[in-house]
Amino acid sequence: MDEDDVIAAHEEDFARAEAAAPGRRRPNRRGFWIMIITIGLTSVLVIVEIFANRPLVSAIGRAQHDLTLVHGRAMEIENASGSFLGADAGGLALPGDTVTLIAGNLVAKGPGQVSVYASADGWAAATEARPDACFYIAEDLHGTATRYGGGTVCSGAAAFAQAKDTAW
């Protein structure tokens, strides 16, 4: 049996099946198309959600950057002087800064504004990532790890009191 015989046998089987059930319809592919449309619509929804939440991701990144920047400056002052007393809003501000520093008893409103608390016991800062959502960073003189946290009151004093975690 060569290739031509195999092809001929297949064509005979096909012809017999067609003769036995003339006009037989093709299998229904409706389930296939329902799945394709569902997957397509889900993909579009996911892409829309990604782009809709992009500003929030940027705001969180900006808040963490601002706190890390100010924290680094505060640690430099503490290392040089042995105290955080000079690491208040006035002591941390640099000309041309993209971050606006305010006193620790004031509430930071919006990205780019950081409330800084400095005392003999420690240092803390808070900034707003979005309305009613703030990030905190705090240090104390007792040698514990840097503490992080979050809350709804965006003041350095609140950050010093409430920051408890050791990671973002």
| 28 SS3 class | coil
DSSP state of 164: -
State residue 7's pLDDT score. Answer: 86
In a domain, 167, yes or no: no
Helix (H) or strand (E) holding 150: strand 147-151
> Can you tell me the mean pLDDT for 93-120?
86
State residue 4's pLDDT score. Answer: 84
> Can you tell me the mean pLDDT for 72-97?
84
Same domain, 84 and 131: yes
Percentage of the chain surpassing pLDDT 70?
Answer: 89
Average pLDDT, the chain: 84
Token readout for 65 is: 């950057």
Name the pLDDT band for 21 (thresholds 50, 70, 90). Answer: low
More confident of the two residues 12 and 20: 12
User: Does the CA dihedral 131-155-73-88 come out positive or negative?
Assistant: positive
Map tokens 């005392």 to a residue.
119
User: Does the CA dihedral 35-36-42-45 come out positive or negative?
Assistant: negative
Name the pLDDT band for 123 (thresholds 50, 70, 90). Answer: very high
More confident of the two residues 89 and 55: 89
In a domain, 168, yes or no: no
> Can you tell me the mean pLDDT for 12-34?
76
Domain with 146 in it: 55-162
Same domain, 37 and 114: no
The residues, any chain, with a CB within 8 Å of residue 166's CB and separated by 6 or more, are 145, 146, 147, 148
Domain count of the fold of the chain = 2
Lowest mean pLDDT among 55-59, 77-81, 120-124: 55-59
* C-alpha triplet 134, 138, 139: angle, nearest 5°: 175
In this predicted structure, the answer to whether residue 168 has a pLDDT above a threshold of 60 is: no
Same domain, 71 and 14: no
Same domain, 92 and 139: yes
State residue 5's pLDDT score. Answer: 84
**N-term to C-term CA, the chain:** 74
Regarding pTM above 0.75, the answer is no
Same domain, 67 and 11: no
